[in-house]
Amino acid sequence: MAILYMPTPFLISDLEIWIKASAKREKDQAISTLRSLHIVQRDALPTISLTPNFRSSLRLALEGGGDHNSFGVPSIHPIPSNIDLNYLDQYAQGKWDGILHFVVNSVGFSGGLGDRGSNGGPKQSVKDLMIRGHLVERRGGSSISITQAGFTFLLQEANAQVWTLLLLWLESADAVASAKGVDEALLEGLDSVDMLSFFFLLASLELGRAYDTDALTEARRNMLPNLVDFGLVYVPPTNTRQFFPTRLATTLTSSETTLRSISAGFAAAGNPTSSTAEGSSSTGGAPDSSQDKSSIIMETNFRVYAYVNSPLQIAVLGLFVDLKYRFRGLVSGILTRASIRRAVDMGITSDQIISYLATHAHEQMHRVAASAHKPVLPPVVVDQIRLWQLDTERMLATSGFLFKDFDDYKEYNEICNFADDIGVVAWRNDRRGMFFASKVDQIKDFMRTRKKANESK
């Protein structure tokens, strides 16, 4: 903010005055991140400045100006009587449940204990997006299985899940622009910058209010069908000239959401809870999930008892627990070497399993652990889960770039220290004069600058 209105670039030497000597590493990492995001740029002289596009956009956002319909244009058409907050919440939840059911059911778990749900699932375009985003993957021909990223996706809160899917959509838009050209991508409404701007516009809209579709640009109107598939927008079939943002859209910029998620506990699809139209801060059809969230009892003999009714939570447990019995409001099973290895083969890590069990541990386990000053989960279970994973993993691969064969030790030391300062060194060996870095762009710039400086001497 300090350099936003500066008429000339900011001297690096002046910036150094603001920074403590002990924080030089953090400063270099921050500048490196800002440069990679094209927020700041290093000029020829030892100066730094904001990029022109970011400077003008931030000034416009702070000062206002222009007629951009920044908060949407309310629709003047009559609203159908059946559309209220409860209806929109049920609609959005049905769409999102279908997506989550697809991720969970991709496991192919057929123990007979988890209801695969009656939801028809997402459209093929959404399924293809999740496959391209590696939330699920095809294995052995046509079968689809969950991945480590997919399991992490299931454990996120609902708004984080939405952002994960939207970011995958942005990446897909960039891929289309690279393959087909920018002009054709724009015709399909796949300009990633405009898409991101539209997401933030949706987050600023009022829940339950109808907005004019005709006021949107053609590119944004082309985005609406995809947003309908995600459950972020509802378009009445009887009047496509208006659209309603759902709670999934209006909580995009919020750290919390009142819709359900796997970690908050799901209710069975099609079992809505009443909510009032007056209370915009009400649960909006989401049930009280406190019981489902703290529902798992883990014994030292590896037996698991979960007080849940949710088909999705039961299906998630089935990923790494050998489920044996199901009663009304209760399922039981056992952790086995085979069940853990099955989960590991799908890409789920032991730390994710342990985190899930600890997060959803019954409150009685928390009370006993607090009174006895012991961990919530039995240490013997935690250690064994990790050992079962180690049976299948003997080596960890890290992608990156190996730097070696330097002219002298001084060159190696300067370049390696620079890479270490910006936080990209994964491994180094000073004796052999080589290091391994996860990113290379900033290092290449430094090497070119260093070479020019040496040639000018």
Domain identity same for 336 and 409:
no
Domain identity same for 226 and 323:
no
Domain identity same for 200 and 330:
no
Q: Would 78 be classed as within a structural domain?
A: no
Last residue of a domain, one of 233, 250, 267: 250
Amino acid letter, residue 153? F
Helix (H, G, I), strand (E, B) or coil at 318: coil
Last residue of a domain, one of 221, 250, 279: 250
Query: What whole-number distance in Å separates Cα of residue 161 and Cα of residue 99?
Result: 10
Q: How confident is the prediction for the chain on average, in pLDDT?
A: 80
411: pLDDT strictly greater than 50: yes
Total number of domains in the chain: 4
Query: What whole-number distance in Å separates Cα of residue 435 and Cα of residue 412?
Result: 9
Domain identity same for 109 and 227:
yes
- CB distance 231 to 246 below 8 Å: yes
Domain identity same for 103 and 242:
yes
CATH of the domain at 435: 3.30.70.2610
Name the band, by pLDDT with cuts 50, 70 and 90, for residue 264: very low
Q: Would 262 be classed as within a structural domain?
A: no
Domain identity same for 16 and 134:
no
| Helices 218-230 & 124-132 angle (0-180, nearest 10) | 90
Q: Would 159 be classed as within a structural domain?
A: yes
pTM above 0.85, yes or no: no
Domain identity same for 124 and 243:
yes
DSSP per-residue string spanning 354-377:
HHHHHHTB-HHHHHHHHHHT--SS
Name the band, by pLDDT with cuts 50, 70 and 90, for residue 402: very high
pLDDT at site 418: 93
Query: What whole-number distance in Å separates Cα of residue 87 and Cα of residue 234?
Result: 10
Q: Would 282 be classed as within a structural domain?
A: no
Q: Would 73 be classed as within a structural domain?
A: no
Q: What is the pLDDT of residues 310-346, one digit of tens each?
A: 787 888 888 899 999 999 889 999 999 999 998 888 7
75: pLDDT strictly greater than 70: yes
Q: Would 320 be classed as within a structural domain?
A: yes
Phi, psi of 65 (to 5 degrees): 115, 150
Q: Which domain holds residue 41?
A: 10-63
Domain identity same for 128 and 29:
no
pLDDT at site 65: 59
Domain identity same for 42 and 121:
no
Share of the chain above pLDDT 90, in %: 29
Q: Would 195 be classed as within a structural domain?
A: yes
Domain identity same for 216 and 191:
yes
Window from 39-53, 84-98, 272-286 with minimum mean pLDDT: 272-286
Share of the chain above pLDDT 70, in %: 81
Q: Would 5 be classed as within a structural domain?
A: no
Alpha helices in 147-275 (DSSP H): 148-155, 158-180, 182-187, 192-204, 218-230, 247-250
Sheet holding 303-306: strands in order across? 296-298, 303-306, 330-334, 322-327
Name the band, by pLDDT with cuts 50, 70 and 90, for residue 188: low
Domain identity same for 35 and 92:
no
Name the band, by pLDDT with cuts 50, 70 and 90, for residue 189: low
Domain identity same for 123 and 202:
yes
Query: What whole-number distance in Å separates Cα of residue 220 and Cα of residue 245?
Result: 14
